Structure 1
Amino acid sequence: MSFNHHYNKRLKHYAKKLRNEMTKAEASLWKYVLSKRQIHGQQFRRQRPIDNYIVDFVCLPLKLIIEVDGITHTHEEVAENDKIRQLRLESFGFKVIRFTDEEVLTSISSVYRNIAHEVEVLMSLNAE
């Protein structure tokens, strides 16, 4: 199953719906940072089904997931579910990094630098 990075085709329709209804923060991150191979030529996909989850963004070759957390992620139950979800994704070998909507909308250059740094680290590890 790992050859397809745990792709879950049963969630394909829902993922497409989410791609068409991205939040303002997700749309900004996609447009200004992740689309068109803007970070070291790496391709990111948006709203990708992995296992029983749909991740916001993923670079499959580097196994890097980027999540954008809105205001609901501050609620205790949602935050606990995020932890469970992250542990599950990490068990497949993915690295998960998170940003809040506010970070993306007010500090996009800092978010870009953080993601670029993670990409550089993962690229160097893959080169070894």
Structure 2
Amino acid sequence: MEYTQTERHKELMNNARELRKNMTKQERKLWYNFLRGYWIRWRRQKVIGEYIVDFYCVQLKLAIELDGSQHYEDAARVYDQKRTEFLAKMGIQVLRYTNLEVNQQFDVVCTDIDNKVKAMVEKMNRYHMKITARKKKELDE
């Protein structure tokens, strides 16, 4: 059956809604114990193009993917690589963690995410400060 863009988008949105209702144990843990109350807003099961990412921060263009055992199969690896390449073309960076890491090293995962977010925010702030300084200099001339 041939899908139109709108039909495909509706299907993806419905899939994302179902995934939000039926999060994995590891997704629930990361969401309710860290991302939900984080100081930068995160979205769950966000549709981007033809893909759904587990967690997404719009402001930073940063996605988080939690990989279960199915991601170690060859077909899943190819799919994940294709998705990561698509997201990179959109300017979106992807952080990947295994379910095992979330289960056994939760604090390490949270610290890693926090460090990455802070580094990205700092980089954005430096960029905006340079732009502001450049505009101020132009106005002073």
What TM-score results when the alignment is normalised by the length of structure 1?
0.88
Q: How far 1:58 moved relative to its partner?
A: 0.4
The one-letter amino acid of 1:104's match is V
Q: How far 1:77 moved relative to its partner?
A: 1.3
Q: Which of 70, 89, 93 does residue 91 from structure 1 map onto?
A: 89
1:15 is aligned to 2:16: yes
Q: How far 1:62 moved relative to its partner?
A: 0.4
**Moved segments of 4+, more than 6 Å:** none
Query: How well do the aligned residues superpose, as a CA RMSD in angstroms?
Result: 1.1
CA distance in 1, matches of 2:14, 2:96: 24
The one-letter amino acid of 1:83's match is Q
The one-letter amino acid of 1:51's match is G
Q: Which of 24, 42, 48 does residue 46 from structure 2 map onto?
A: 48
Larger RCO (alpha carbons 8 Å, 6+ apart): 1
CA distance in 2, matches of 1:53, 1:9: 10
Percent pairwise identity: 35
1:32 aligned partner? 33
Q: Output one character per residue of 1:78-128: Cα deviation in whole Å (capped at 9) or x when no partner.
A: 011101100100100001010000000111100001000110111012112
Gaps of 5+ in 1: 1-7
Q: How far 1:9 moved relative to its partner?
A: 4.6
Alignment coverage as a number of residue pairs: 118
Q: How far 1:14 moved relative to its partner?
A: 1.3
1:100 is aligned to 2:98: yes
Q: Output one character per residue of 1:25-45: Cα deviation in whole Å (capped at 9) or x when no partner.
A: 111010111102x2xx10000
Bigger fraction of residues in helix: 2
Structure possessing the higher radius of gyration over alpha carbons: 2
